[in-house]
């Protein structure tokens, strides 16, 4: 145990009163030696009971080194960077509220970091419903289904350790930040993907560790789902510009989907004969997501076919329209689109 590295957990939060206690309690149950662990919480000036709940947790868990710092900019990358600068660990573990972590989370990721000579290790995500309703179960299912998120292995699962383009809630060697810098504060969304993209460009190794699973609570309304994935799509072109290329093909599929919908509609007005192939493709898409929804509803024994179809559509359409807006903003040199206030609370 004495040879294990000192670990700093960094946790950016804002207005997470419904989830922060559960997250922190899973940190208190970690099997990593407490004298080798510190937790730095960067709060984006919460206006609910989040800070009170954090203070109560600190009072209750004197055995843990927990520090609460302010993040006046209120966005994730600023919070992450403030926490990193305040940390002293040889290893930095980036965590998120809205999630709960198994007791072996830190120990297994740290072990894998050195066992495989990696620079960042992360586990898979088990997405669960925020509430016990058909809509919430459908949203959670869409976020962990290949039809919804493609071949993102950290979401759909993996049977083996594999190199990845990005992993959630990563466990980093501190030297990574010395080599490629901190999180890009312009990336209010998808800052993890952009950072991992810089790692890949620098020849650093990112590994997905399948025997480590995080439980993540999905958004509980279609509106929140749409907003979240629109923002993800919005910032992807900016990340691609910074990285000098698109990391994965799957990121482009929703873009092509939305471009087809809008350009096809225009062309059918110009050339009415195109209405038949245009509608045929839409019917094919509807049939595909309908078939996937029926199979999943049967497997889970939940009558949520329509809710799941709608969740798939929202994922694809919101991400794609966000991507279109992001590309348009870059082409028109309107970087101000990316500097709006998007707080940590989602």
- With a cut of 80, say whether residue 119 has pLDDT above it: yes
**Cα–Cα distance measured from residue 203 to residue 212, given in angstroms and rounded to the nearest whole number:** 24
Instruction: Identify the band that residue 342 occupies on the pLDDT scale cut at 50, 70 and 90.
Output: low
Instruction: Identify the band that residue 271 occupies on the pLDDT scale cut at 50, 70 and 90.
Output: very high
Strand 206-217 versus strand 99-100 pairing type: antiparallel
**Cα–Cα distance measured from residue 341 to residue 344, given in angstroms and rounded to the nearest whole number:** 10
- With a cut of 80, say whether residue 246 has pLDDT above it: no
Q: What is the pLDDT of residue 346?
A: 43
CB 318 within 8 A of CB 252: no
Q: What is the pLDDT of residue 104?
A: 96
User: What percentage of the chain reaches a pLDDT higher than 90?
Assistant: 83
Q: Mean of the pLDDT values across residues 32-42?
A: 96
Instruction: Identify the band that residue 250 occupies on the pLDDT scale cut at 50, 70 and 90.
Output: confident
- With a cut of 60, say whether residue 148 has pLDDT above it: yes
pLDDT top residue among 137 and 335: 137
- With a cut of 50, say whether residue 248 has pLDDT above it: yes
Model confidence pLDDT, tens digit, residues 213-223: 999 889 999 99
Strand 7-13 versus strand 120-128 pairing type: unpaired
Instruction: Identify the band that residue 343 occupies on the pLDDT scale cut at 50, 70 and 90.
Output: very low
Q: Mean of the pLDDT values across residues 295-306?
A: 97
Phi, psi of 132 (to 5 degrees): -85, 65
- With a cut of 90, say whether residue 251 has pLDDT above it: no
- With a cut of 70, say whether residue 110 has pLDDT above it: yes
**Structural tokens at position 262:** 């809008």
Q: What is the pLDDT of residue 335?
A: 86
Q: What is the pLDDT of residue 154?
A: 83
Q: What is the pLDDT of residue 344?
A: 46
Structure pTM? 0.86
Q: Mean of the pLDDT values across residues 277-283?
A: 96
Q: How confident is the prediction for the chain on average, in pLDDT?
A: 93
Domain range summary for the chain, segments of one domain joined by +: 7-125+153-217
Model confidence pLDDT, tens digit, residues 203-240: 999 999 999 999 988 999 999 999 999 999 999 999 99
**Structural tokens at position 50:** 């989040």
**Cα–Cα distance measured from residue 320 to residue 304, given in angstroms and rounded to the nearest whole number:** 24
Strand 206-217 versus strand 171-173 pairing type: unpaired
The matching CATH number, chosen from 3.40.430.10, 3.30.420.40, 3.40.120.10, 3.90.550.10, for 7-125+153-217 is 3.90.550.10
Strand 91-94 versus strand 171-173 pairing type: antiparallel
Q: What is the pLDDT of residue 2?
A: 61
Q: Radius of gyration of the chain from Cα atoms?
A: 21
Model confidence pLDDT, tens digit, residues 60-105: 999 999 999 999 999 999 999 999 999 999 999 999 988 889 999 9
Q: What is the pLDDT of residue 56?
A: 95
Model confidence pLDDT, tens digit, residues 131-144: 999 999 999 999 99
pLDDT top residue among 158 and 40: 40
């Amino acid at each position: 145990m004495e040879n294990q590295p000192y670990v700093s957990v960094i946790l950016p939060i804002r207005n997470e009163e419904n989830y922060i206690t559960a997250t922190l309690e899973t940190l208190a149950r970690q099997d990593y030696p407490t004298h080798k662990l510190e937790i730095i919480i960067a709060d984006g000036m919460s206006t609910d009971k989040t800070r009170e709940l954090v203070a109560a947790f600190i009072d209750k868990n004197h055995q843990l080194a927990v520090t609460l710092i302010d993040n006046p900019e209120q966005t994730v990358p600023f919070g992450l960077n403030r926490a990193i600068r305040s940390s002293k660990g040889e290893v930095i573990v980036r965590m998120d509220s809205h999630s709960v972590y198994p007791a072996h989370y830190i120990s297994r990721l740290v072990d894998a970091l050195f066992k495989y000579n990696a620079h960042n290790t992360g586990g898979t995500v088990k997405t669960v419903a925020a509430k016990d309703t058909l809509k919430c179960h459908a949203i959670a299912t869409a976020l962990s289904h290949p039809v919804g998120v493609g071949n993102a292995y950290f979401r759909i699962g993996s049977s083996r350790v594999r190199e990845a383009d990005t992993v959630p809630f990563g466990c980093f060697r501190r030297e990574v930040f010395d080599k490629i810098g901190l999180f890009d504060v312009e990336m209010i969304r998808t800052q993890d993907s952009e950072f991992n993209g810089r790692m890949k460009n620098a020849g650093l190794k990112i590994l997905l560790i399948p025997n480590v699973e995080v439980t993540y609570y999905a958004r509980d309304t279609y509106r929140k789902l749409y907003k979240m994935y629109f923002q993800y799509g919005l910032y992807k072109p900016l990340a691609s510009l910074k990285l000098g290329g698109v990391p994965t093909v799957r990121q482009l599929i929703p873009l092509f989907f939305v471009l087809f919908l809008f350009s096809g509609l225009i062309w059918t007005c110009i050339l009415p004969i195109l209405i038949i192939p245009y509608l045929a493709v839409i019917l094919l898409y509807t049939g595909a997501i309908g078939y996937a929804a029926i199979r999943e509803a049967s497997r889970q024994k939940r009558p949520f076919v329509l809710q799941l179809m709608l969740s798939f559509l929202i994922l694809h359409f919101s991400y794609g329209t966000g991507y279109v807006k992001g590309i348009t903003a870059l082409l028109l040199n309107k970087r101000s689109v990316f500097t709006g206030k998007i707080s940590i609370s989602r």
